[in-house]
Structure 1
Amino acid sequence: MGQKMTRGIPRLALCLCLVSPEGISTQSTIILNQSDFIILIHFIFVSVFLQASDLIITPATTFKEKPDPTNLVFGTVFTDNMLTIEWSLASGWKKPYIKPLENLSLHPASSALHYAVEPRGQTEENLVSLLWLNEYTVGIMKLFEGMKAYRGVDGKIRLFRPALNMDRMARSARRTTLPSFDQNELLECIRKLVEVEQEWVPYSTSASLYIRPTLVGTEPSLGVKKPTKALLYVILSPVGPYFASGSFNPISLWADPKYVRAWKGGTGDCKVGGNYGSALYAQQEALEFGCQQVLWLYGEDHQITEVGTMNLFLYWINEDGENELATPPLDGIILPGVTRQSILDLARNWGEFKVSERYITMSDLTGALEESRVKEMFGAGTACIVCPISKILYKGKHLHIPTMENGPELTTRFLNKLSDIQYGREDSDWAVLVS
């Protein structure tokens, strides 16, 4: 960095080394006057870094009664406290607070209230217009994460691979132009919140404490633009099984190609509000047909992508006669699930069958069913962990998936392995101790 004179005004030549997401570095020199340089340094060292050491804890002094862990309805009961962190372009991240749970105070023009629009239903007919809508409005000012704290058989509380959640949240923030943050510092703030609320972590190996970090744009402006103000908050909710049918009963899926969840170039690989709100119309139709979830298809060949709340896995004998565990690839329209990655890691470590991230079409599936090559199909996600699939309604025909007839051996094995790690029956570096 050196100093130059331009028409009598002192300026600073700043050499920047830029690193792309692919790891390719380039150098660039920019000329700044001294005031601009001070603003830049302020932005780098204040706006980017969130400090857990600044955390202020003023917990609730009145406490709600803890619910019976056997009668929990997902996401309807909340703990006594929450974490909040405000951000602005002018002053960066403010001090994090753990304080009593309270309603948010937002200006009616806050960007998250306007530009996280959820259209009623996404169809192939309106896909072209929705490409623009997704890019600039759907979920642009609202993103969230989902993770859990588990009380182990030894009484200790654990988080499951939380760094993966922080990494995904950071990527969602970049995609939606919301502010960046230090992932380790945010995770430490979340760990402190769970520690404060540790008595809310159910004393049960069939329940857990759901953690919902959320980041929203709060700038009071009706302009469609990158926000200059944001709020990051975390709330907690004790939960039991996600599906009312129970933690390991099979579910049915409804697949209709007229609806799409995501598309290339959109935000399907980010955990943004618009991806979920826009799916509710199709979800309601699935329920009317007697199915519990939507199986989202994509393209003219009806590629299988994912289920409303889960990534999807197929265990079958493939076209080459091999036992194969297959799941759709991360091509921009699939959410990179933490449970998905964990199942792939486990299966590859076992080395007992082929593991593939590959495209699977409905034609592939129906052909395999006709030839009795399908063994098991299951969904995977933080909310449900692992869930067997027994039926798909497609083009008016019920496709029977023989998951339960086959044990389900592999589905059960994954569930047991993950549960053993989460509830402390097995030591693993995937489990991060809270207390």
Structure 2
Amino acid sequence: MASLPQDCNNGCLEECMGEAGSNPVMGTLKAKDLIITPATILKEKPDPNSVVFGTVFTDHMLTIEWSSEFGWEKPHIKPFQNLSLHPASSALHYAVELFEGMKAFRDVDNKIRLFRPNLNMDRMHRSALRATLPGFDKEELMECILQLVKLDQEWVPYSTSASLYIRPTLIGTEPSLGVKKPTKAMIFVILSPVGSYFSKETLNPVSLWANPKFVRAWKGGTGDCKMGGNYGSSLFAQCEAVENGCQQVLWLHGEDNQITEVGTMNLFLYWINEDGEEELATPPLDGIILPGVTRQSILDLARKWGEFKVSERYLTMGDLTTALEQNRVKEMFGSGTACIVCPVSDILYKGETLHIPSVENGTKLATRILDKLTDIQYGREESDWTIILS
């Protein structure tokens, strides 16, 4: 049996799960130390409604270097540019990296709002500890991100359907081919204007390919963390879904074909359950489900409404096929930062197409959720879920 790396001794778990930068001798991440180097040449802003998602970037970026010897260096906002990495950097070889995705919105009063960014910072920090990357002060990092958005605020679209996508990323920059906890790392944040996921007229439903031969995540793995490796390994299955005439993958798990996620989204089923109750159900956070910010927001809203049962519970393909046979399914939809909600129309499973009557039922719940969340995001409704840029 191969031995553990020398730096993984009996105290490794405690060391890995500790707050990097908590040692007063080491540098801590402080927004007050932020250095800003403005760009001298500003790019032309594109029409966000015609730009391809994630292909156009703003004038500036945020970078923060870390080392086990000195802790966090001073954060730096600088002109958008390529990164300089050692060819042996652990992010490139062993996927020691993670990312987040959130948005800034220009509201009806021309103020700029972020939607529940504290939940993104919480998840980013949990992912960092799981990846043996350094911990950080979540509030200080958030303040640095706000300063970046403020500097590039003219890139936040003047639209109540488009937004500015924010991509914080943390990578291991250990200059070694050894498989070990990195002694060097970097946070960088880039911004990209994006248009509306849907047309103004309707929510466009998607078809799903459900095949248990591919698994997105497993117990004890990193399915509950937002790591790039989770996404890169999904591409082959996504290509096969397209070859089979479907738009997204419905990820299944276990011998009973538990329904987990759809594409890169969390999944919700609105139905009449086995006990005759009207219910909105989504798989539980058991370690293989990503704790999505939109997922949590939908659960919070539905529980506040109190109009039907709201559950985090296991759902199988057997449960779904039986419910479809008995006409108990109302809607099924995915949820995520990009789309907020995305209705499901069909599922290709074991050579048979299962039709989900989301559209026939008017996508009433999905539309209600979409309207409510966008009202909050664009300031048509005040909520403590948004942070206004000062």
Q: TM-score range by the shorter chain?
A: over 0.9
1:113 pairs with 92, 102, 108, which one?
92
Residue 332 of structure 1 is matched in structure 2 by 287
Deviation at 1:287, TM superposition (A): 1.1
Structure 1, unaligned stretches of length 5 or more? 1-17, 22-39, 117-140
Partner of 1:279: 234
Opposite residue 212 of structure 2, the aligned amino acid is P
Q: 1:102 aligns with which of 54, 62, 81?
A: 81
Q: Is the 8 A contact 1:202 1:238 kept in 2?
A: yes
**Retained in 2: the 8 A contact 1:74–1:241?**
no
Partner of 2:117: 162
1:223: how far off?
0.4
How does 1:132-171 map onto structure 2 within 5 Å?
A: 141-171=96-126
**1:415 and 2:363 matched:** no
Which residue number in structure 2 is paired with residue 370 of structure 1? Answer: 325
Partner in structure 2 of residue 133 of structure 1: none
Q: Give the corresponding residue for 1:89.
A: 68
**2:69 partner letter:** A
Matches of 1:380 and 1:399, distance apart in 2: 20
2:41 to 39, 62, 67: 62
Q: Hey, which bits of structure 1, 4+ residues long, moved more than 4 A?
A: 40-43, 242-247
Q: Tell me which residue corresponds to 1:229.
A: 184
SS in 2 for 1:335: coil
Matched, 1:172 2:127: yes
Residue from 303, 307, 327 that aligns with 2:262: 307
2:138 to 174, 179, 183: 183
2:8 maps to none
Give 2:311's aligned amino acid.
S
The answer to whether the 8 Å contact 2:98/2:127 transfers is yes
Q: Give the Cα–Cα distance (whole angstroms) in 2 for the partners of residues 285 and 336 of structure 1.
A: 26
Shift, 1:47, TM fit: 4.3
Deviations 1:155-199 (A, max 9, x none): 110000000000000000000000000000000000000000100
Distance 1:216 1:250 in 2: 35
Equivalent pair of 2:20/2:134 in contact (CA under 8 Å): no
**What is residue 75 of structure 1 aligned with on the other side?**
54
SS in 2 for 1:405: coil
Q: Residue 194 of structure 2 is aligned with which of 239, 242, 251? A: 239
SS at match of 1:205: coil
State the match for 1:382 in structure 2: 337
Cα distance, 1:77–1:366 mapped onto 2, change above 3 Å: same
Compute the displacement of 1:46 (Å).
5.2
* CA deviation after TM superposition for structure 1 residue 375, in Å: 0.2
Any conservation in 1 of the 2:270–2:280 contact (CA below 8 Å)? yes
SS across alignment from 1:70: coil
> Structure 1 residue aligned with 2:312, among 335, 357, 367?
357
Alignment partners' CA distance in 2, 1:160 and 1:63: 27
Q: Single out whichever of 320-329 and 202-211 deviates more from structure 2.
A: 202-211
Deviation at 1:49, TM superposition (A): 2.9
**Aligned-pair distance for 1:387?**
1.1
What is the total number of aligned residue pairs between the two structures?
Answer: 374
Deviation at 1:41, TM superposition (A): 12
Question: How far apart, in 2, do the equivalents of 1:213 and 1:113 lie?
Answer: 17
Quickly say closer, same or farther: Cα 1:415–1:272, change in 2 above 3 A. Answer: same
Instruction: Please point out which of 17, 21, 24 is paired with 1:45.
Output: 24
State whether residues 392 and 398 of structure 1, in contact with CA within 8 Å, keep that contact through their aligned partners in structure 2: yes
SS of the equivalent of 1:45 reads: coil
> Match for 1:287: what amino acid?
V
Higher radius of gyration, 1 or 2? 1
Structure-2 change in CA distance of 1:201 and 1:375 (3 Å): same
Compared CA separation, residues 426 and 56, structure 1 to 2 (3 A): same
1: distance between equivalents of 2:160 and 2:21?
47
Asked if the contact 2:250–2:259 (Cα under 8 Å) also holds between the matched residues in 1, the reply is: yes
Counterpart-to-counterpart distance in 2, 1:73 and 1:383: 13
Question: Sequence identity of aligned pairs in percent?
Answer: 76
Give a deviation string over 1:115-165, Cα, whole Å, max 9, x none.
Answer: 01xxxxxxxxxxxxxxxxxxxxxxxx1100000001111111000000000
Q: Distance in 2 between matches of 1:295 and 1:111?
A: 31
Query: Residues 91 and 332 (structure 1 numbering): CA distance in 2 closer, same or farther, change over 3 Å?
Result: same
> Counterpart of 1:230 in 2: which secondary structure?
strand
CA change 1:145–1:161 in 2 (3 A) is same
Kindly tell me: are residues 71 and 307 of structure 1, through their superposed partners in 2, closer, same or farther at Cα, counting changes over 3 Å? same
Q: Distance in 1 between matches of 2:262 and 2:115?
A: 22
Deviations 1:337-378 (A, max 9, x none): 000000000000111000000000000001000000000011
Q: CA RMSD in A?
A: 1.8
1:306 Cα deviation from its structure 2 partner: 0.4
CA contact (8 A) 1:309 1:383 kept: no
- Separation (CA, whole Å) in 2 of partners of 1:201 and 1:43: 35
1:42: Cα distance to partner?
A: 8.0
Task: Note the C-alpha offset of 1:96.
Answer: 0.3
In the alignment, which residue of structure 2 is the partner of 1:253? Answer: 208
Does the 8 A contact of 1:247 with 1:387 survive in 2? no
- Matched to 1:200, the amino acid is W
